[in-house]
């Protein structure tokens, strides 16, 4: 389990805000809002068919992750979610793009899969939780590898 004090500041702040939302409908509305703000990977970074090396294992929504190196040594994260019903995957992708892009790589590499439970609580199936956790793991791997493909 990761210590969230090591996470990027924007992610810590967002998790603290989400932790205060106890109303199920309010939390769902917030996550739907994130899903609606999701922007898929631009064609300048990747085009269909997306390379399998960027595909998230176990993800039911066919998610893909890229870490595009920035001049300051950080990464700009991009995601694709191919399943139009993948609301949870789009919400997590939007959260990770907003909070991990531009953050120090050591902080991004510290993000643990437990954030899935903090964000979604018990409102997801075990399979969906595995896929979302794998999405977090790919972001971590890209940060650790400085944007190289997370899989061989």
Average pLDDT in the 44-69 region? 94
Task: Answer whether residue 147 shows pLDDT above 70.
Answer: no
Q: What is the pLDDT of residues 63-75, one digit of tens each?
A: 999 999 999 999 9
Tokens for 94, please give them.
């939007």
- Tell me, which fold does domain 4-144 have in CATH? Sufe protein. Chain: A (3.90.1010)
What pLDDT was estimated at residue 59? Answer: 92
63 and 93 in contact (C-beta within 8 Å)? yes
Task: Answer whether residue 150 shows pLDDT above 90.
Answer: no
Which position has the higher pLDDT, 111 or 151?
111
What pLDDT was estimated at residue 1? Answer: 47
Buried b / exposed e over 81-119, threshold 16 CB at 10 Å, is bbeeebbbbbbbbbbbbbbbbebebebbbbbbbebbeeb
DSSP string computed for 72-139: TS-EEEEEEE--TT-HHHHHHHHHHHHHHTTS-HHHHHT--TTHHHHHHTT-S-HHHHHHHHHHHHHH
């Amino acid at each position: 389990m990761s210590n969230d004090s090591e996470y990027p500041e924007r992610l810590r702040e967002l998790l603290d805000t989400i932790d205060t939302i106890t109303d199920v409908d309010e939390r769902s509305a917030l996550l739907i809002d994130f899903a609606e703000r999701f922007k898929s990977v631009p064609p300048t970074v990747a085009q269909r068919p997306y390379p399998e090396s960027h595909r998230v294992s176990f993800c039911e929504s066919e998610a893909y992750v890229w870490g595009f190196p920035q001049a300051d040594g950080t990464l700009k994260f991009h995601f694709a979610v191919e399943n139009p019903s993948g609301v949870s995957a789009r919400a997590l992708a939007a959260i990770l793009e907003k909070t991990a892009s531009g953050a120090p790589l050591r902080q991004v590499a510290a993000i643990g899969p437990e954030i899935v439970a903090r964000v979604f609580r018990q409102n997801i199936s075990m399979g969906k939780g595995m896929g979302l956790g794998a999405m977090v793991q790919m972001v971590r791997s890209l940060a650790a590898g400085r944007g190289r493909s997370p899989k061989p």
